[in-house]
Structure 1
């Protein structure tokens, strides 16, 4: 169970609102269902644009509007007009884990000065290009460093780090296989 501290706005988070959300979900598990969806359209060469129009929380649709652009570097036949999909993947994982570090520190009453996550990975283009069945098209390993500063002890930060690895959705998504259920529609 989460331990809410007396400071209601640690690291900019409204802990009272978080506490209310936790209590509501404990009473009604259907409120815990958060659904996300995006639509990505090719916009020429290696560029694509993804639109976020809404998400659902507890069965209720919540409207929002965001656009995410992706492209490849010139050396990979793109125009380098935006981050590539691999960089966006790493950014999404880092952003998700950052939320976890901030939330876990806040719940413990630890004031943060900074959180930085540096992630890197190398993939072999022979897999993507279909040149070898022995080469996977994606990462076999991804390395990351977390640099965190605040008024917690090293033991506090180690506990927070373990909590993030246990509860971060995107850490989970990348560290374990996720079933991909695709359907092709030709039209």
Structure 2
């Protein structure tokens, strides 16, 4: 499988990426923009989308009841050399499923995620999954 995307500079404050008719505004200026994600935020959005899509992929196989899902991410950037030093996530699931089944979903999300596997090979990736309304993580 191959993916294609093109991006172009629109002006000094931003750029535009497009793929198969969809467009995403990019914050590519030095000051940042309120109406567009910067490159790190785009990377985190790709990881969040990968995790949500991964859950969607395995839900029918696991016969898992998912009523809602949220992924929160944080990345630590180092300056020299400029790179991400760590990425942390928390997946919050609205479900009546047991803790063991929640853990099974978590393992499957990570095992089959193209973006999560790619990033985990390059930067420490750690996180938890928890049930919505639960204070403890697993």
Question: TM over 0.5: same fold?
Answer: yes
Aligned residue runs from structure 1 range 4-153, under 5 A: 34-53=1-20, 65-71=21-27, 76-124=30-78, 127=79, 135-153=80-98
Using a 3 Å threshold, how does the CA distance of structure 1 residues 155 and 48 change in structure 2: closer, same or farther? same
Deviations 1:128-184 (A, max 9, x none): xxxxxxx2312110110111121321111101111111110010111114xxxxxxx
Hey, what's the Cα distance between the residues in 2 that align with 1:115 and 1:87?
Answer: 19
Q: Counting strand residues as a fraction of each chain, which structure ranks higher?
A: 2
How many residue pairs match? The answer is 122
Q: Give the structure-2-normalised TM-score.
A: 0.79
Root-mean-square deviation (CA, aligned residues, Å) is 1.7
Aligned to 1:165: 110
Q: Counting helix residues as a fraction of each chain, which structure ranks higher?
A: 1
Q: Give the structure-1-normalised TM-score.
A: 0.60
In structure 2, the residue corresponding to 1:140 is in which secondary structure?
A: strand
Hey, what's the Cα distance between the residues in 2 that align with 1:71 and 1:174?
Answer: 22
CA deviation after TM superposition for structure 1 residue 91, in Å = 0.7
Aligned to 1:174: 119
Structure 1 unaligned regions, length at least 5: 1-33, 54-64, 128-134, 178-187
Hey, what's the Cα distance between the residues in 2 that align with 1:79 and 1:114?
Answer: 30
List, as ranges, runs of 4+ consecutive aligned residues in structure 1 with deviation greater than 6 Å.
Answer: none
Hey, what's the Cα distance between the residues in 1 that align with 2:33 and 2:57?
Answer: 38
Whose radius of gyration is greater, 1 or 2? 1
In structure 1, the residue corresponding to 2:56 is in which secondary structure?
A: helix
Aligned to 1:185: none
